[in-house]
Amino acid sequence: MNRSRIIEAALGEFSRFGYSGATIDKISAAAGMSKSNLLYYFSSKSDVYEAVLEHILDVWLAPLRTLDPEGDPASELAAYIRQKMRMSAERPEASRLFANEVMQGAPQIRDVLEKDLKNLVTEKSKVIEQWIEAGKIRKIVPVHLIFTIWATTQHYADFDSQIRALTGTGLEDPAFFEEAENAVCSLILNGLGLEWPRKQTTS
């Protein structure tokens, strides 16, 4: 419970102030506990930061883990895209923090990326390859399909300011959310030769 409170508070602080601007004092205050209590669970700011990044990655990858090789590709991929879009809508600060870490060379989580993430992507690439071999989707290099889903869905979080400047709204607007979700699903699934039940946009 306390670890979760600390991670949640730290996510907000790191997102607002960056790694250098966030402090143990600020994080402990945001978590509603003393600095000494926080340091009982994490020995340093670096440890807290690494825990936050690992938590973000774990939450993001949960939907990818559910891709079922026996499932209908259109339904499986549409569900994955929709879950990723919801994450961008509900936790944009997490996406931006993670993107910033990766753009700096992922110094805190390189081992996680090269081991846990790589293993999961390899496993789910095999699911996509099974669909290709069965003639269920068009031929594509699976890892590029996964990269494309990440890029398009997380764009709405990472470039929220740009989106608002161009459209005047964001994913918190139900109509815009459904419009964006339908557009991403349509572009990706139609590109794979799949038909899917289009969701109706909010009137």
> In this structure, is residue 153 part of a structural domain?
yes
Shared domain for 109 and 132, answered yes or no, is yes
Whole-number pLDDT of residue 199: 57
Please provide the size of the chain in residues: 203
Q: How far apart are CA 123 and CA 159, in angstroms?
A: 30
18 lies in the same domain as 58: no
Domain that holds residue 121: 52-191
Confidence grade of residue 49 (pLDDT, cut at 50, 70, 90): very high
pLDDT in tens, 80-111: 999 999 999 999 998 888 888 888 888 888 88
Does 200 score more than 60 pLDDT?
Answer: no
Residue 76, domain CATH:
1.10.357.10
**Angle (deg, nearest 10), helices 92-103 and 45-65:** 110
How confident is the model at residue 18, as a pLDDT? 84
Residues 169 and 76 in one domain: yes
Residues 59 and 11 in one domain: no
The share of the chain scoring above pLDDT 70, in percent, equals 97
Specify the pLDDT at position 132.
97
> Which stretch of 49-53, 162-166, 190-194, 196-200 has the lowest confidence by average pLDDT?
196-200
**Burial class of residue 104 (count of CB atoms within 10 Å of its CB; 0-12, 13-18, 19+):** exposed
CB 15 within 8 A of CB 96: yes
Query: Is residue 63 in a domain?
Result: yes
Token digits for 129? 């390859």
- The answer on 84 and 18 residing in a single domain is no
Report d(CA 12, CA 30) in Å as an integer.
8
Domain assignment present for residue 16? The answer is yes
Taking all residues of the chain, what is their mean pLDDT, rounded to a whole number? 91
What pLDDT score does 203 carry?
Answer: 44
pLDDT at res. 173: 97
State the pLDDT at residue 131. Answer: 96
Q: Which residues neighbour 123 within 8 Å (Cβ) at sequence distance 6 or greater?
A: none
Co-location of 29 and 102 in the same domain: no
Residue with tokens 């999961």: 120
pLDDT at 202: 47
Q: Check whether residue 71 and residue 125 sit in a common domain.
A: yes
Same domain, 23 and 106: no
Given this model, what pLDDT does residue 166 score?
Answer: 97
In a domain, 197, yes or no: no
- Residue 153 tokens read as 């869905």
Q: How would residue 16 be classed by pLDDT, with cut points 50, 70 and 90?
A: confident
- What pLDDT does residue 54 have? 87
pLDDT computed for residue 198 by the predictor: 62
pLDDT for position 197: 62
Contact 8, 86 (CB under 8 A): no
Query: Cα 24–30–32 angle (5° rounding)?
Result: 100
Per-residue model confidence as pLDDT tens digits over 140-195: 999 999 999 999 999 999 999 999 999 999 999 999 999 999 999 999 999 999 98
Please count the structural domains in the chain.
2
> The CATH number of the domain where 25 resides is what?
1.10.10.60
The answer to whether 180 touches 82, Cβ cutoff 8 Å, is no
Contacts of 141 (CB under 8 A, 6+ apart): none
